[in-house]
Amino acid sequence: MKKKINIMRIGLVGEAPTDTSAIQNLLRKRYPAPAYDFVTLLDQIHGSLLDSQKIKRFLRIEFEDKRPDIVIFIRDLDSIHTHSQVFSEKKRYFSESNRVVNKQGIFLLNIYEIEALVVADIEAFNRKYQTALEYNGDCMMLEDPKGFLRSHCKSYSEIDNAELFKELSFDTLLEKCRYFQGFIYRFNKRLAV
């Protein structure tokens, strides 16, 4: 007799399809199928449209249709973490959206942008793009990490992020990126409930 697997369904809401695909590919390294089933919500919605009340109604419809156990809201702070006004705006977005999904949400706030995770594992970037880029600082203190990557590698595009995130080391990101480490800690606690 086969043992029944408990499947945890995890919804992803992001600013762009490339962001949700990138984070899904990264999380699958630690949370593989079939035990973890990732589903994208609002996959045609981009950026600041996520803040509108109309989109929150669509989110509610998709949440009820796809029934995720947890919803990860992926946003970029577009600032370093010390910018308190922007930080408060993003926290308000999460609070409002979390109510729409019956408080099943967890927030992944990228500081400054999702590309900070790429900078945290710059060796993976170098292998993929055949570059020798170095960054030894705190990835959370780098303003415009996407611009940093583009300025040193003209062939880089955020469209590549879904595939690039498959190459990133989950353990390296835990070690070098405090916001990702905090997110995984909170995520694991939610999974354990």
Per-position pLDDT tens, the chain of length 193: 666 778 999 999 999 999 999 999 999 999 999 999 999 999 888 887 888 889 999 999 999 999 999 999 999 999 988 889 999 999 999 999 999 999 999 999 999 999 999 999 999 999 999 999 999 999 999 999 999 999 999 999 999 999 999 999 999 999 999 999 999 999 999 998 6
| CATH code for residues 8-113+162-168+177-192 | 3.40.50
Amino acid letter for position 135: Y
What was the pLDDT predicted at 2? 66
Q: How far is it, in rounded angstroms, from Cα 166 to Cα 4? A: 29
CB count in 10 Å sphere of residue 142: 19
Up-side HSE of residue 32: CA atoms within 13 Å toward CB? 3
Element (H, E) at 75: strand 70-76
What was the pLDDT predicted at 52? 87
What pTM did the predictor assign? 0.94
- Write the DSSP string, 117-151: HHHHTHHHHHHHHT------S-GGG-S-HHHHHHH
What was the pLDDT predicted at 82? 84
Q: How far is it, in rounded angstroms, from Cα 53 to Cα 107? A: 19
Alpha helices in the chain (DSSP H): 17-27, 53-66, 84-100, 115-120, 122-129, 145-152, 161-167, 170-176, 178-192
- CA 72, distance to chain mean position in Å, is 8
What was the pLDDT predicted at 5? 73
